[in-house]
Chain A
């Protein structure tokens, strides 16, 4: 009761008390939000409190996104690992020739449509650009087919003249082979190529995704290479059943190989996207927690400083009253 009386009298006397002694008392105690005017104390704790509320909300949201990504990852991971068996027979039969020298290469860049997934899209674009530099030259040309919004945005800046096709909204429905094969069919029909290089993030584990390039050759190049020898030269030792010729079978095989490799690449990229999003959201919620700790300390400091200054004002007001008597 008495304190309330003192507080009221302290407030009434406030304008008569010189500003400078209070500022001089306040400055060693105050944090940097308080420098400046009188009467700003309550506003700065409000500011800090608002920040704390919004940081806490962000932390909750990023934690939820991490859980969602984790559950989606579990679902896709099994399918991706099973789909690796699709292209392995092709590599066993036709070999893998990433360093083949061809006139027309087409680089198929796989990326995600949504953001907040860490750095995977930029690594894929870097590898695509490196492939471009490796394969460009006199009489050789490189064209891009871009799958996913993010790579489209990045590549648009400096390689837009080399883009032939761009595909988006692939992840809207759950991924299945029918979808990817229609996409592969479209690419085959619209683009002429000697070699297709598919760039994607291969999923090794939840924290490790490496950008990988898979090469699919067109049937004419395979025929040419088989004449030269090596792994492809052994193709002649296979017996061909049915009424088809070697050239036809090679064409069917090349198309099917492209479709299978694309299917596996799309699944692995989706896995990597979920894993990257998980780790990005995890580090983001950890950062939000740290920020919240720092803000809480600032808030408490501010609050205590304001209480101390109120007390000082009351006491000095009361003592001024005493002295005046």
Chain B
């Protein structure tokens, strides 16, 4: 059941639906007026540390964060 229609532009660019909807939500949040904008932006903060494992050993962790630690 291969689809004949063209894939949407964002899927062709390699984004998943999740990242697409995140970018859209980001745009909507930036359209708000103060003071709602400030509290909406606090809901966007991302921070976690991810490390891939290979052969039972963790590689160097990658910190994905809006506030990179110095």
Enumerate chain A interface residues (CB-CB to B < 8 A): 160-161, 163-170, 172-174, 176-179, 181-186, 188-190, 223, 243-248, 251-252, 255-256, 258-259
Contacts and interface: CB of A to CB of B under 8 A. Distances in A.
Interface string B23-64: 001000000000000000011111111111101111001011
Contacts of A178: 22, 25, 43-46
Given A179-B47, A182-B46, A255 B18 contact: yes
Contacts, number: 98
Contact of A190 (B8, B17, B52, B63): B52
B7 interface: yes
A251 B17 contact: yes
A168 B49 contact: yes
A208 to B, nearest CB: 28
A181 B22 CA distance: 8
Given A160-B53, A167-B50, A248-B3, A181 B45 contact: no
21 contacts: A165-B50, A166-B50, A166-B58, A168-B61, A169-B48, A169-B49, A173-B46, A174-B42, A178-B22, A178-B43, A179-B47, A182-B46, A185-B16, A185-B18, A185-B22, A186-B64, A188-B16, A190-B52, A223-B1, A247-B1, A251-B17
B18 to A, nearest CB: 5
Contacts of A183: 48, 50
Contact of B8 (A182, A185, A248): A248
Contacts of A172: 47-48
Contacts of A244: 5, 8
A182 B25 CA distance: 13
B4 to A, nearest CB: 8
A178 B18 CA distance: 10
Given A160-B56, A185-B16, A186-B64, A245 B3 contact: yes
Given A165-B51, A179-B47, A179-B48, 15 more contacts: A160-B53, A163-B53, A163-B56, A165-B52, A172-B48, A173-B45, A178-B25, A178-B46, A179-B46, A182-B46, A182-B64, A223-B1, A247-B3, A248-B8, A259-B18
Interface residues on B, range: 20 to 34
A184 B48 CA distance: 12
B19 to A, nearest CB: 5
A160 B58 CA distance: 9
Contacts of A248: 3, 5, 7-8, 11
B55 to A, nearest CB: 7
A179 B48 CA distance: 8
B1 A167 contact: no
Contacts of A168: 48-49, 51, 61
Q: Which 8 residue pairs across A and B have the least CB separation, nearest first?
A: A160-B56, A245-B3, A252-B17, A255-B17, A161-B56, A170-B48, A163-B53, A169-B49
A158 to B, nearest CB: 10
Q: Which of A174, A181, A258 has the most CB of B within 10 A?
A: A181
A163 B42 CA distance: 33
A181 B21 CA distance: 10
Contacts of B45: 173-174, 176, 178-179
Contacts of B18: 181, 184-185, 188, 255-256, 258-259
A166 B53 contact: yes
Contacts of A160: 53, 56-57
Contact of A166 (B7, B11, B25, B51): B51
